[in-house]
Amino acid sequence: MDKPVQQSSTGEWDRVWVNANLATMVAAHDGVSGYGEIKDAALAVRGDRIAWMGSSAEALARARSQDVAVTDCGGAWLLPGLIDCHTHLVYGGSRVEEFEKRLCGVSYEEIARAGGGIQSTVNATRAATPESLLESATVRALRLMDEGVTTLEIKSGYGLELSVERRLLEVARELGRRLPLSVRTTYLGLHALPKEAAADRAGFVKQVSGPWLEALAASGLIDAVDAFCENIAFSVAETEQFLHAAQRLGVPAHVHAGQLSDMGAAELAARFGALSADHLEYLSAPGAAALAGAGTVAVLLPGAYYMLRQTTPPPVPFLRQAGVALALATDCNPGTSPCTSLLLALNMGCTLFGLTPHEALAGVTRHAARALGLQTDIGTLEVGKRADFALYRIDRPAELCYALGANPCASVVYGGVAR
């Protein structure tokens, strides 16, 4: 499949992909469909950038005269490399035993008493070596990459102590060095209160927002921060303290907001100009308006909604009406979303949340790029952008949202190089 039909040396282009249908995912405007489609098209790369897009016939003529390598896509659809903009990919252990027990009738209380829940992942993560963390995260990353993912956000948050948080971020960065994958790292400082800090919440928040954040930022290990603002996690005031500290250091923010209740976390995220507010099952119309006003992306996470068997979906009509950019992600984590398929998240976004296939696909390309602050570099097929793209054997783009459990990804190009 996609075998080179002609090899060559130099030229203005390094390689050109012909006989493709492009879904550029460039924002819709008059006369152009929602996917930014260009049929019977070609795309040329120079270095790690998209150098040209146009008709296959023109590309072939030019490739012949310039002696450029040509790949025949055989009518495949070519989309921007997918972006999973919210994951907790690096962790130790698994929660499969807990999942099994629960379905066999063991109560949450008994599981918690036996040391289950998030604390069990924290214990397993603290006990894991960097090598084993890297190994298990690599397996999960490769599954995502097989579907066409070329950029991945990874949060810390299962260490809850400085040395382990640092280890998680270092493993995430190492993953990006070893794999043909761009990794963005987020310090999820306020995820859960560790049991050793149960008697001193304020002291923990102060430590997370002060010396720990400063040390990690100084190491150059973080692209952003995140906090779980929720009645079972951290209050608006505690989250605000952390976001203030990040703002002083010039580190952008994400916020886990409105997953289980509306505490005004979306408004808080907007006040700090956060890159994204994530989950948002519980969000008011004014909350949606605040996100729109701040240009904060709403990242919807249908995997967790599904696993928790929630029944109140995010208010997509409010978000649409307010003009908030919608992204979709796997939220890959051992407790509430053991999901390593962004294509499955596309289907769930459509089926459970009522997104149109176009909205869902924009949510893992253009808008996911914006949720990471990378919209000028990735997320659409445009000349000058990074040559990250994936080829799919499908008849139309919506098929990526429609098929359950299928993976029609035929090949992936990362920075102009087929991997």
Q: Which residues bind Zn ion (CB under 5 A)?
A: 331
* Nearest CB to Zn ion, comparing residues 281 and 331: 331
* Nearest CB to Zn ion, comparing residues 208 and 410: 208
Cα–Cα dist 172/156, whole Å: 9
The kind and range of the H/E element at 135 are helix 130-146
* Nearest CB to Zn ion, comparing residues 72 and 331: 331
| φ, ψ (nearest 5 deg) of residue 116 | -80, -170
Longest Cα separation, the chain? 73
CB of 25 to Zn ion, least distance (A): 24
- Fill in the amino acid letter for 283: L
The residue sitting closest to Zn ion, measured at its beta carbon, is 331
Buried b / exposed e across 129-146, counting CB within 10 Å, b at 16+? eeeebbebbbebbebbbe
| 215, 170 contact by CB (below 8 A) | no
407 is written with which tokens? Answer: 């993976």
Beta bridge partners, 417, equal 414
- Fill in the amino acid letter for 89: L
Cα–Cα dist 14/397, whole Å: 27
Cα–Cα dist 129/165, whole Å: 13
| 79, 397 contact by CB (below 8 A) | yes
Look-up of token digits 């390689």: 15
| 243, 188 contact by CB (below 8 A) | no
* Nearest CB to Zn ion, comparing residues 84 and 331: 331
Burial of 232 (0-12, 13-18, 19+ CB in 10 A): exposed
CB of 194 to Zn ion, least distance (A): 18
| φ, ψ (nearest 5 deg) of residue 389 | -155, 165
Q: Which of 253, 254, 260, 208 is nearest to 232 (CA)?
A: 260
Q: Which of 22, 36, 34, 32 is nearest to 75 (CA)?
A: 22
- Fill in the amino acid letter for 411: S
User: Any residues with CB less than 8 A from the CB of 249 and at least 6 apart, and which?
Assistant: 213, 214, 217
Cα–Cα dist 26/365, whole Å: 10
Cα–Cα dist 89/86, whole Å: 9
